[in-house]
Structure 1
Amino acid sequence: MSQKRLFLLDAYALIFRGYYALIKNPRINSKGQDTSAVMGFVNSLFDVIKREQPDHLAVAFDKEGSKDRVEMFPDYKANRDETPEAIRIAVPIIQQILKAMHIPIIERAGIEADDLIGTIAKQAEKEGYKTYMVTPDKDYAQLVSENIFMYRPARMGNGIEIWGIPEVQKKFEVERPDQVIDYLGMMGDAVDNIPGLPGVGDKTAKKFIAQFGSMENLLANTDQLKGKMKEKVEANAELGLLSKKLATIIIDCDVTFNEHDYELSEPDTDKVQEIFEELEFRRLTDQFIKIFSGEAGASTQVSGTATAKKQAKEAGAGQFSLFGDTAAPTTEIETYSSRKTIENTPHFYQSVAPGMAINLFVKNLLKQTQVCFDTETTGLNPLTAELVGIAFSWESGKGFYIPFPEDRQEAQKLIEILRPFFESEDIVKIGQNLKYDIKVLHKYDIQVHGQLFDTMLAHYLINPDMRHNMDVLSEAYLNYTPVSITDLIGKKGKNQRSFRSVPVEKQTEYAVEDADITFQLKEHFAPELEEAKTLSLFNDIEIPLLRVLASMEIEGINLDEEFLNSLSQELDNDIKLLEESIYKKAGEEFNIASPKQLGIVLFEKLKLVDKPKKTKTGQYSTAEDVLSYLAKDHDIIQNILEYRGLSKLKSTYVDALPTQVDPTTKHVHTDYMQTVAATGRLSSNNPNLQNIPIRTERGRQVRKAFIPHNEEYNLLAADYSQIELRIIAALSEETTMIDAFKNGEDIHASTAAKVFNVPLEEVTREQRSNAKTVNFGIIYGVSAFGLSNQTDLSRSEAKELIDTYYKTYPKLRNYMSEQVDFARENGYVQTVLGRRRYLKDINSRNAVVRGAAERNAVNAPIQGSAADIIKIAMINIYNKLSQGNFKTKMLLQVHDELVFDVYKPELEEIQTLIKTEMESAYTLSVPLDVDLGLGDNWLEAH
């Protein structure tokens, strides 16, 4: 009879591990609840059950810390950060799940989990059990024996480590596992605030263990030590002994092992599924059903471990063919062994050789209803990169790779064979960041037709605050770590190789894996889009916009490099004059760009403030907000801010833009990103054309450098007028504000007339300016302090103005309160098109954190609705321009503004088209108004 096995899980260690494993990619459900900690723990629990099929299992929880250790040392664990709120909320949910699964919970007030596990492990050992302590915490190594092991979950997707006596000996360089206590006592533990011996680290502790064997023996033989180390050890002998006691796991707690209590029994399936449904754990629900219906065996490997990959390579992929009923000759198909195991499914990845195999492959490809494809290229810039290969997958665990020749003519011949697939209207094309692939294929005169499904965009709508790259999504949703591109071509730098230099068998493994994973992610995300009620937003807005942005990015915009060169020289002169002025006012020359030197000059030498703000490192803060607050009282600070602004303008735009001109098109091609801003706004990158300063004269001059295609064109800028204010007026149903817009009034003057109680015609410029600041500030939750900083009003005057504003527009305030209430109840807010912004901190106990979430609850629907509306306008205009075969092109989107390269003979028709489509993009109770401008450069047009 085989030896009985007991698995003891350290709950908090696994909960924290799961939570922080997903910290950059938290799992937020549709209620705005951060479920990362619960998911991480349940993943670990299920992994143990699937891998090991234990007959006995229990989970230990800390409760109220260690009473004994705190009595010995009041500062024990005193420096630990407060437990994250998501973990505090997760613990009772995890305990509900365990109870529903009939898994025993071990918990005692004042006793830590490691002491409970240590006690039970030793008791079980005496009863003939082999015990596995499931925890990443290395402290448990002291308990390891012939029948007690550490079962350490490694990084997500990389399996587990089991530490027996040999592993502990090697890891800690000890003869016996119990010497780990001495090692920990000597070295101390910053996490638990165990002091240890001053000056003793990992290497020294191991050296002492080798020489003396124990803490006590070390302290009894300090005469063998030398110098300062001898002094430190002798002076801190009591501290060392205390540290050893604190590090010792207690093995005689008030808890008794009863094998019948710890037997793994049948769970309450309905209850578990009910909890998982509430948490929106669809994949875990499937896993749960498989595990407890007997479908998942002990050999199941959820993750692609190194061992699994090695075994797969040794096994080979055999002569498996996926070319339909007609099997292709195996001599024509190069089949590479890249068989892996994800959820117990073998992987068959094949490279398709030229000749008959390609024709057979395409014949089968065209029979499919949906196919994931992924291009592999020589670089990251899709406008200059060349095709190295294309991977295809339409069934989980299976896929194909077509390598492309380096010769451009031969590559073009090969892509022509695939043209019917790409231009088929009937096959759904799946991909991750399809805009990149569309731009690459455009170079080969290939258009991608038919319905698209982009997993990156899908996930962006499901969880906008998370990261959306494929590796992260694979780990989070498929529990699988893909091969990294850097494993094949090296890290960034001069030594990085081209993907073309990678052997074809490795290209196949890497590329098809990407296509396979993306296909599986599509299957996962499609139902989630429906459940989150964002499927129409995906199909009608984000996917069509993908094509629009690809077209805009391919076109780019013309740049007047000569003008920028002259502007650079002018900025050099201006910066030099400012330097001289600053040095004169400071009475010395110093490095203005150095925060440290600047802080000393401003706050020690010139003593501009009595109590200057300092950074965490103890330096004087010279941050923008600090200096802006002081600028109106000190000319030198005004000069410094202007110096910074001009220096940044010169380096970021004036000098950088000419270097970003494409040598072939002679245009600048920005990259619009749909998945960065959680509100739905687009982001611009390489170069960022959305952040060019517009409030300063020099900043505006940069726009002058953007010019039409040639003399037959003009630039036209179309700008939504005060769209966010119009949206908030409509959403709040604030009739006073709605009427002002309907009557075509100046909304800021109208607001000033009402809040300052003066006739409209008597509103002063200052009153209008203050009203404008409040109008826009209200959307972002401006406070009296913030308003007073932005205006000449005192804090009390600012408060009075805000109070009067809310009295003037009472429905606006009610709307804001309703939005916060909705967010508290549902965990999210949404735009007019149903785009959700999840607010996981809306019910936080921390007032500062909660306040930020409340401001987002008000702002996100407004800013997001504005983003949605301009996206609709872009799609409609693009379609009209395409259908009408106009020469006019849409070039740029900058928040509420669109920029066009207008063919002069089309000007009149185009102006009407653009204004009509933008103003009718979405119907609100407030009319949308668009201002058009025309010019020989962007500045003139704007």
Structure 2
Amino acid sequence: MSKKLFLLDAMALIYRAYYALIRSPRITSKGINTNAQFGFTNTLFDLINKEKPTHLAVCFDTHAPTERHIDFTDYKANRQEAPEDLLASIPDIQRIIRGFNIPCVELDGYEADDVIGTLAWQAADAGYEVYMVTPDKDYGQLLIHPSVFIYKPPYMGSKEEVLDAKKVCEKWDIARVEQVVDILGLMGDAVDNIPGIPGVGEKTAAKLLKEYDTLENVLANADSIKGALGEKVRNGKDSAIISKKLATIITNVPVQFHEEDYQLKAWNNEALIEVFTELEFKTLGKRILGDAFNVFQTAAAGVQTDLFGNAVETKTAAKADGEEGLLATGFSADKNINNTPHEYHLLDTPEKVQAFLNDAVQQSEICFDTETTGLDANEADLVGMSFSFTPGVAFYIPCPPERDKTLAVLEQLRPLLEKPDITWIGQNLKYDMLVLKWYAFELKGNIYDTMLAHYVVEPEGRRSMDLLSAQYLGYEPVHIEELIGKKGKTQGNMRDVAVDKIKDYAAEDADITLQLKHALHPQLKEKEVEKVFYEVENPLVKVLTAMEFEGVKVDVGFLREYSKQLEIEAKQFEENVYQEAGVRFNLSSPRQLGEVLFDKLKLDPKAKKTKTGQYATGEDVLLKLAGNSSIVSDILGYRELTKLRSTYVDALPEMINSKTGRVHTSYAQAVAVTGRLSSNNPNLQNIPIRTERGKEIRKAFVPRDAEHTLISADYSQIELRVIAAISGDENMCEAFKQGKDIHTATAAKVYGIADEEVTKEQRYKAKSVNFGIIYGQGAFGLADNLGISRAEAKEIIDNYKKEFSGITRYMDGMINFAKEHGYVQTLMGRKRWLRDINSSNFTVRGFAERNAINSPIQGTAADMVKMAMIRIQAAMEKEKLRSRMILQVHDELVFDAHNDELEILKPLILENMKAALPLPNEVPVEAELGTGINWLEAH
């Protein structure tokens, strides 16, 4: 076997790992951000596993100045400060590297590039294949040695890439890898603040090297280079010389490659267990160390995802988060069922159940949990139920496989289940309530959902029962794998488990959830989020349970016909593309498509490539080219139709519940940090509404029968009304009070004209500013969005801020409030914690500042919709209506209305939507309502 040495550029990989998770950071129970540690460890382990290196080292920079800093004081001077969390990760990462028994190599006065370059050439001379693991383009110069390669590890979905000298030359458009330093000397490197020759870019530099071969020859022939370019070269001579020196990697650093020091050895499991435990690497630790890592026995069921890849709140997901999911983390815990006193009782006879009932009906609070045959509450059967009202004591009642016998068990429990003065405690209670509803039973009392309590306390936190148990109780529950085997991904074989084993597992769930309630409850008061919990999230659970149970009818016949139509149209688009391209190819292959568009058809000489080296052909890229060639429009048309067919038109019929003939979407309350609901199986939030073909899908959603009609009620410009209200901006508030079209009114102010003079184009631009400003969009983003110059975009924004100065004051005020308090909040007190708001790294801080501005707006709108749902459901129940609320999408509610109740229901819906959450500064809340024989017509 050949000897393979891998040399890792530590800081480049650490930065990459940190920023890969910047939008969904991994935070431990102690508030430590472990993005970098987690990502780096994953990269290191995967590399060892996949590439099987025989030798390995990780090279670091030091804080000591290098010769480059002495030669050029501005070297790397423009780099923003590293995020504090990233810097804090380095000692942990070095501990992890040492735990793998891999050397960390660094030397004062030299950068990691220099250390890697020196070791790479020494090892290559000794007969090794050497792979420099880095995303840094400068390393190409080291590929002079034929046994040295650049290894770019996988990143953000891309595959790993190995570069040899030929690929580096192709990438730079140069003849020899030695010219990498020449091209860098000419064009500079903004990342390291290497100046190069001002005005000379990559393509010009490559062109000069084609003619003159080296930077020195370019400078020697500067007088013969004509025009402005010659002047730039002559004026930039000194800058080019120092730039080449700065870009040249030193290969005679005083380090020595001793192969025995770099040979992979057995890992120090004890050291890895220690650091993985501290960093709460639950699943990752198990994946790396196997059974040696038994600190965490937590289930790796993970965040379930639906057909469309969205996070789903299933019962299992609410109990255990996998590390690879968005809600990923882990906690250590010392207590478990084997070392903690408990009394778990099996109630397997009517007499035992009755004895329990006599005591239970006297209680004011009871924790309740179900065990079932599956994750989908609409399809699952009851296996058993557990109850607890005293910490450490719980009861398990098994349910026989026969439905009639389970109904008999439930009937005996009816006096308890339907007792109105009991508060039912549970973790993701919606699941349990939905299961009961399929047996025609319901919990009549109030509810207290521990998952939602934690959600309002820590909206970005992780909230599996296992994790919360470890965090708040120091307790590690029994895990489902221990019952159904390590390969079990669902509870589908729970029926095969001995009742006594299920008893411990199920009773413990109820016991621990009860204790979690006692631990979490004081947090609501401490964090001042009681109002949003008791008035918004908790009461919404019963509303969502009723909606999910009801479902919506789908017209399968329409979908099948529409699928055929889309197939024909997509085929026509495909044929158009082949005709225009002059060649047949795999239209679904981004690589082949890129080669056709940019190599063959030359649609964009500046076409960008992805990290894998292929042309970028995403929708954003193609939309910018759509006006240049009909082939691009045909490609976009083909993509739209094929996606509509596969994602919705052909998928929806497969989701129809066999018992009801309807589709039952599932609503997740505790996923979106802003408070917005998300839906899964199907994800109704993502059904396209901006294109005619996408809108047609809404025709498939229909009333249950001829006696019903769909009603769609939609809030009007709610987020803009919210920002007007909470900012108190005089002009915007007045426009809403007068019932003006807000975008027309905005355009009139921005352009200094009367409302009636506003053109369609001006209104469109004003609309873009209205929505863009609250998401932190600047002149560059607005210009790109509208296809206008940056100067015009800046003028529009400046005028906007002048005319709507209250909006600017709001934005500045929210950022300052967040800097002082560490959070922002909605009108109902929903909080968004912004731990990076005072970061010295402007990228990280900027992300937090944008959240400070838009979270109160989005969150208040979300609270309003939820409160409207609660009010409407209560009003419908009070009137004993047969009509049902069936869907919630963004700011819209959809109802399956009985025809006899239409005139009662319409004002009931509108009045409760408008009154759900009154806005300050007398900004009116408006909603619009429509009816129809399908969702599209109603909307």
Q: TM-score, normalised by structure 2?
A: 0.68
Q: How does 1:417-436 map to 2 (within 5 A)?
A: 417-436=412-431
State the SS of the aligned residue for 1:588.
coil
The reply to whether residue 241 of structure 1 matches residue 258 of structure 2 is: yes
Q: Deviations over 1:50-76 (max 9, x none)?
A: xxxxxxxxxxxxx997999x9xxxxxx
- The residue type paired with residue 672 of structure 2 is A
Query: What is the match of residue 295 of structure 1?
Result: none
Task: Give the conservation status (yes or no) of the 8 Å contact 2:336–2:478.
Answer: no
- The match for 2:924 among 906, 924, 927 is 927
Aligned to 1:599: 594
- Contact preservation (8 Å) 2:83, 2:841: no
Q: Equivalents in 2 of 1:140, 1:606: separation in Å? A: 50
Contact 1:724 1:863 in 2 (8 A): yes
Match of 2:731 in 1: 736
CA distance in 2, matches of 1:865, 1:65: 47
Query: What is the CA distance between 1:691 and its match in structure 2?
Result: 1.1
Q: 1:683 aligns with which of 678, 684, 691?
A: 678
Partner of residue 755, structure 2: 760
| Structure 2 residue 636 is matched with structure 1 residue 637 | no
How far off is 1:782 after superposition? 1.6
Quick one: structure 1 residues 23 and 424, their matched pair in 2 at CA, closer, same or farther if it must change by over 3 Å? farther
C-alpha displacement of 1:878: 0.2
Contact 1:28 1:838 (C-alpha < 8 Å) held by counterparts: no
After superposition, where does 1:119-198 map in structure 2 within 5 Å? Answer: none
Instruction: Specify which of 344, 357, 361 is matched with residue 356 of structure 2.
Output: 361
Amino acid at match of 2:605: D
Is the Cα–Cα contact under 8 Å of residues 718 and 899 in structure 1 kept in the other structure?
yes
438, 447, 457: which one aligns with 2:452? 457
The aligned counterpart of 2:406 is: 411
Provide the residue aligned with 1:782 in structure 2: 777
**1:885 aligned onto 2:884:** no
CA apart distance, 1:893? 0.7
Residue 366 of structure 1 deviates from its aligned partner by 2.2
Q: Which residue of 1 aligns with 2:300?
A: none
Post-superposition Cα deviations, 1:800-822, rounded to whole Å, max 9, x if no partner, equal 11111111101111111101111
CA pair 411-785 structure 1, distance change in 2 beyond 3 A: same
Q: Answer whether contact 2:374 2:492 (CA < 8 A) is retained.
A: no
Match of 1:899 among 885, 894, 911: 894
Alignment deviations for residues 839-873 of structure 1 (CA, whole Å, 9 cap, x no partner):
22222222222222211111111111011011111
- Hey, what does 1:162 align to over in structure 2? none
How far off its partner does 1:773 sit?
1.2
SS in 1 for 2:930: strand
Q: 1:369 to 1:599 in 2, by over 3 A?
A: same
Identity %: 48
Gaps of 5+ in 1: 1-16, 41-62, 71-80, 92-111, 116-134, 142-179, 183-188, 202-235, 249-302, 307-338
Determine helix, strand or coil for the equivalent of 1:527.
helix
Does the Cα contact within 8 Å between 1:340 and 1:347 map onto a contact in 2?
no
Partner deviation per Cα, 1:498-536 (whole Å, 9 max, x = no partner): 211111122122212222222222122111111111112
Deviation at residue 410 of structure 1 after TM alignment: 1.1
Q: CA deviation at 1:583?
A: 1.1
* 1:415-468 deviation per Cα after TM superposition (whole angstroms, max 9, x unaligned): 122222222223221111100000001122211122211111111111111232
Residue in structure 1 matched with residue 84 of structure 2 by the alignment: 85
What amino acid does structure 2 have at the position aligned with 1:760?
D
Q: CA 1:139–1:771 in 2, change beyond 3 Å: closer, same or farther?
A: closer
Higher mean alpha-carbon deviation, 415-424 vs 665-674, is at 415-424
Distance, in Å, in 1 between the alignment partners of 2:834 and 2:693 is: 39
1:715 to 707, 710, 719: 710
Kindly tell me: are residues 625 and 792 of structure 1, through their superposed partners in 2, closer, same or farther at Cα, counting changes over 3 Å? closer
Match of 1:437 among 415, 432, 435: 432
3-state SS of paired residue (1:380): coil
In 2 relative to 1, CA 818–361 (structure 1 residues): closer, same or farther, beyond 3 Å? same
**2: distance between equivalents of 1:26 and 1:864?**
22
Quick check: 1:915 aligned with 2:910? Answer: yes
Counterpart CA distance in 2 for 1:343 and 1:503 is 18
C-alpha contact 1:34 1:840 (8 A) present in aligned 2: no
> CA shift at 1:931, angstroms?
0.8
Of residues 377, 389, 392 in structure 2, which corresponds to 1:397? Answer: 392
Report the counterpart of residue 822 of structure 1 in structure 2: 817
Tell whether the 8 Å contact from 1:304 to 1:341 is kept in structure 2 after alignment.
no
Preserved CA contact (<8 Å) 1:370 1:429:
yes
Evaluate the alpha carbon distance shift between residue 88 and residue 437 of structure 1 in structure 2; reply closer, same or farther with a 3 A threshold: same
Q: 8 Å contact 1:25–1:472 — kept in the other structure?
A: no
Shift of 1:827: 1.5
- The CA deviation at 1:245 is 9.9
1:476 Cα deviation after fit: 3.3
- Amino acid across the alignment from 1:737: M
Q: 1:907 to 1:518 in 2, by over 3 A?
A: same
The answer to whether the 8 Å contact 1:28/1:840 transfers is no
Cα pair distance change 1:886/1:247, threshold 3 Å? closer
CA gap of 1:380–1:114, structure 2 versus 1, over 3 A, is: closer
Q: TM-score, normalised by structure 1?
A: 0.68
| Structure 1 contact 671–686 (Cα < 8 Å) conserved | yes
CA contact (8 A) 1:341 1:347 kept: no
Counterpart CA distance in 2 for 1:113 and 1:872 is 45
8 Å CA contact 2:336, 2:477 repeated in 1:
no
Q: Determine helix, strand or coil for the equivalent of 2:686.
A: coil
Alpha-carbon distance between aligned partners in 2 of 1:24 and 1:520, rounded to the nearest angstrom? 29
**Number of equivalences:** 694
Q: Distance between the aligned counterparts of 1:355 and 1:21, measured in 2?
A: 53
CA contact (8 A) 2:83 2:840 kept: no
2:507 aligned residue (507, 512, 525): 512
| 3-state SS of paired residue (1:716) | strand
Amino acid at match of 2:754: P
1:394 Cα deviation after fit: 2.6
Trace 1:579-728 onto structure 2 (pairs within 5 A). Answer: 579-728=574-723
The 3-state SS of whatever aligns with 2:694 is: helix
Change (3 A) 1:547 1:580: same
Give per-residue Cα distances to partners, 1:748-773, cap 9 Å, x unaligned: 11111111122211111111111111
Q: Which residue of 2 aligns with 1:11?
A: none
Distance 1:741 1:66, change over 3 A: closer
Cα distance in 1 between the residues matched to 2:743 and 2:21? 48
What is the aligned-residue RMSD (CA, Å)?
A: 4.1
Give the conservation status (yes or no) of the 8 Å contact 2:910–2:927: yes
- Structure 2 CA distance for aligned equivalents of residues 919 and 113 of structure 1: 53
Secondary structure class of the residue paired with 2:258: helix
Paired position in structure 2 for 1:538: 533
Equivalence for 1:468:
463
Query: What whole-Å deviation, never above 9, does each CA across 1:395-418 have from its counterpart, x for those lacking one?
Result: 333322111111111111111222
Distance 2:846 2:786 in 1: 23
- What's the CA shift for 1:247? 11
What is the distance in 1 between the residues matched to 2:795 and 2:839?
29
- For residues 659 and 763 of structure 2, the distance between their equivalents in structure 1, rounded to whole angstroms, comes to 49
Q: Is the 8 A contact 2:769 2:797 kept in 1?
A: yes
**Separation of aligned partners in 2, 1:26 and 1:515:** 28
Q: What is the DSSP-based 3-state SS (H/G/I as helix, E as strand, rest coil) of the residue aligned with 2:408?
A: helix
In the alignment, the residues of structure 1 paired with residue 476 and residue 21 of structure 2 have an alpha-carbon distance, to the nearest angstrom, of 13
Amino acid aligned to 2:347 = V
